[in-house]
Structure 1
Amino acid sequence: MDRRYEKSINRYWEKMEARCREAFKKLDPNEWFDLWHTHPDWDGKGSSRPENRPRCDELTYRMLKLAESITEHRGNDVQCFALVKEDTMENSIYIHSDNPNGSEFPFQYEGVIWGYSKSRLGQVVDPESHEVGLFEGDTERTLFIRKKP
C-alpha cells in the first residue's frame, strides 16, 4: 500500500470510528432498543480494496464491544450483536431489548449456525468471550458475532 493511500485510509477509519462513538454517545443505555444499529463503514471503503477488509472487521468488533460495555449494567435485558457482510457498508452493530413496538425479544438468530470457525474473523474475534455464527441466505452469507452465552 502506498503511503498516500495509507494515510488517507487511516484518516477514513478514524472518521468512521468517531462517527460510531458519536452515535453511541447519543444513546440512553437505560431506554429500550428496537434493533437499534449503526454502521462502522458508511462509505463502503472496506470493500474497495482487499487490504481494507481486516480494518473494517476490527472496527466492527471493537464497536460491538463498546455497545456491550455501554449496556452491560442491564445484564440479559439487552442483546448486542454484530453483522459482518461481504459488502462492508452493510456491516452493523445492533442493540436490542424488549420494546413497545412488539419486535421479538430476545432476538432468536433463526438459521444462524454458531461456532463457525472458517471465517476471516478468526483473526479478530476473541474466542474466549465471543462466538461467530454463519447465516446462509439465498443470495449472500452473513456472519454474526455475539458474546458467548
Structure 2
Amino acid sequence: MVDRRYRKKMLRYWAREEAKADAILDRVLESEWFDYWHTHLDWKGRGNRHPTDRADVAGALLRLLQRAASTGRKEVQCWVSLAADTGDSALFLHSCNPQGTPWPHPFEGTRWDADMPDWLAPLLPVGVQAGCKGEGEGQVWMVRVRAPETVASPPEGQA
C-alpha cells in the first residue's frame, strides 16, 4: 500500500515531467527527419521506487507515443521502450535520414504480440502493438504504433 501523501506528490511530479516532455515533443515534431531521437521521462530513476510509479512512467510515455503518432506523419516510426530501470524507458522517433541509419527500424530480437505483464496490459491504448526483447532482468517491453492496415477493424456491415 502506498502512502496517500507520497502518491499525490508523485502524481504531481509525473504530471510536471510529462508536461516538460510534451513541450519538447512539440518542438521536435517540427523536424524534417529523426535519427533515433528519444526522450526519457524519468531522468532521475524515481519510477523504480514503487510499482505504481513504474506504471505512471509507462502511462505517460504511452500518452506521448499517441501524441507523436497523431501527427499523421506516416514516414516517422514512433515507439516506446519500457525497461526494468524506468530511467532507461523512453519514447523514440525515427525516420529515413541523411545519417544512413537503418530505415525502417528492424526491431531485431523483439517478439511481437507477447503476453504483457499485469501492470502494463491495462495501460496499452488501442492501435498499438506490444512485444518484448531480451530475458529476465534485461527484458525490455516495446510498444509501437500499428500500421493502419494492421489495426483490427470490425467485419463489414458492423460499425
**Normalising by structure 1, what TM-score?**
0.89
Overall identity of the aligned pairs, in %: 32
Task: Point out 4+ residue stretches in structure 1 off by more than 4 angstroms.
Answer: none
Aligned residues: 145
Match of 2:155 in 1: none
Match of 1:122 in 2: 121
**Unpaired stretches in structure 2, ≥5 consecutive residues:** 148-159
**Unpaired stretches in structure 1, ≥5 consecutive residues:** none
Shift of 1:50: 2.1
Instruction: Choose which of 85, 101, 106 in structure 2 pairs with 1:108.
Output: 106
Shift of 1:35: 0.5
1:52-102 per-residue CA deviation (whole Å, 9 max, x = no partner) reads: 1111111111111111113x1x22x11001100000011100110010111
**Normalising by structure 2, what TM-score?**
0.84
1:71-110 matches, cutoff 5 A = 72=72, 74-75=73-74, 77-110=75-108
Match of 2:25 in 1: 24
| Larger Rg, first or second structure (1 or 2) | 2
**Alignment root-mean-square deviation, CA:** 1.7
Contact kept in structure 2, 1:16 and 1:42, CA below 8 Å: no
